[in-house]
Amino acid sequence: ASEIEDFHRVEPGSSDVFVAGPVVGDMVHLLAELLENAATFSPPSSSVRIDANRSIDGALLRIHDSGIGINEGRLAEINARLDNPTVLSSAAAGTMGLHVVAHLAYRHGIRVQLYGTGSGTTALVSLPHHVLALPSALPSGTWRSDSEPVVVDGEAMPVSPAPTLSRSRPGL
């Protein structure tokens, strides 16, 4: 989220999904493009929600905005381009971000599809197992739950909970 201008509008959900090291850079870029589109095409007072969960096939990540949505014809065209990345044409120049998403997704076997929800648009990002990492694969000391104390010079330090974004928007 920090890669986009309106990062403060992004509301992350809890997640147990970890991305493998070699894929992280491309995933950051892919997600930043999707988050930027969601923030750009929704009211400035609304939030963009994102969550990720493990699935049988790997993991499913969802980005939901509260924009005006996309008509079915345009949605079908965008999804076809996300499924089959091509060379950028002048007709597609206005959707450069989705062009980048399509190529990054293709590189790693990730599937990205957009869906109208009646209250905006949701981007579904299907991550295959080979782009994921387990917490046990992370180096020691890089992962801890919020309930575990931080130890500095042998002394346990209190841990403040991570800041949460306001959910004061009507309708949530």
Question: pLDDT tens, position by position, for the chain (172 residues)?
Answer: 778 888 999 999 988 899 999 999 999 999 999 999 999 989 999 999 999 999 999 999 999 999 888 899 999 999 999 998 876 555 555 567 888 999 999 999 999 999 998 889 999 999 999 999 977 655 655 544 444 444 444 454 444 343 333 333 333 3
Burial of residue 16 (CB within 10 Å: 0-12, 13-18, 19+) is exposed
| This prediction's pTM | 0.75
Query: Quick one: pLDDT at residue 95?
Result: 63
Query: Quick one: pLDDT at residue 67?
Result: 87
Query: Quick one: pLDDT at residue 146?
Result: 45
Burial of residue 31 (CB within 10 Å: 0-12, 13-18, 19+) is buried
Tell me the HSE value of 155 on the side-chain side, using a 13 A CA sphere.
Answer: 3
Q: Which residues contact 106 (CB under 8 A, 6 or more apart)?
A: 85
